Amino acid sequence: SDLFPYNPLDSAWIIVYTLPSFVFFIIIHGFITKYGFKQVEISKTIEETVLIDEKIVHSSPTKQQIRWIHQNTFLSFVHSTLCGLLLFIAFYRAPEILKDPLSHANIFNYRLLCFSLGYFFYDMFDCLLYAPKQDLSYAIIGHHIIVIIYILNSLIQTRNIGYTMFALSMEINSIFLHARRLLN
């Protein structure tokens, strides 16, 4: 049975709820650019840098490349940590999501998806604008575009919110991946 109790929300709310997240990550980026990761040491071997960058490096990485990788990883860590905490709260507040993930919708979960949408927009633009050009990966940009389309589709239709949150729960794993990267 279809338990969908809501009419789709006006799409303007997507902008209202997503924009603060996008701005939040711009502010955090500015803060860590100004105060953090300035003295990144290039003490890592090429092999360790390959693990950080997840692709083959043919020459020694520059300080700018390593600094950008650390900044981007830190911002991804911030997103995955906040998103992971909010996901636990969301599932605690609305356990009915487990019974009907297709039709489930509430404003908290809607805003949570908008928060992540803002992050994915931010991260895609960060990669396009600031990633060293030799590090720019079409696979990463493609990943961002697919995730943005998937989340936007759920938000516009106010459908599949539960399934989208299940997909977003992978961010909990990202907390540990990014923490490990930052501690190396």
Per-residue pLDDT of the chain (184 residues; tens, 9 = 90+): 344 455 677 888 899 999 999 999 999 999 998 887 655 554 454 444 444 445 544 556 777 778 888 899 999 999 999 999 999 999 999 998 988 888 888 889 999 999 999 999 999 999 888 887 766 778 888 999 999 999 999 999 888 899 999 999 999 999 999 999 988 8
What pLDDT is stored for residue 59 in this prediction? 59
CA-derived radius of gyration, the chain? 18
**Angstrom distance (rounded) from CA 84 to CA 93:** 14
**Angstrom distance (rounded) from CA 99 to CA 113:** 19
What pLDDT is stored for residue 50 in this prediction? 47
Amino acid (one-letter) located at 69: I
The DSSP call for residue 134 is: G
What pLDDT is stored for residue 39 in this prediction? 53
**Angstrom distance (rounded) from CA 52 to CA 56:** 10
Structure tokens at 105: 């919708």
What pLDDT is stored for residue 1 in this prediction? 37
**Dihedral sign, CA of 73, 77, 78, 79?**
positive
**Angstrom distance (rounded) from CA 143 to CA 94:** 29
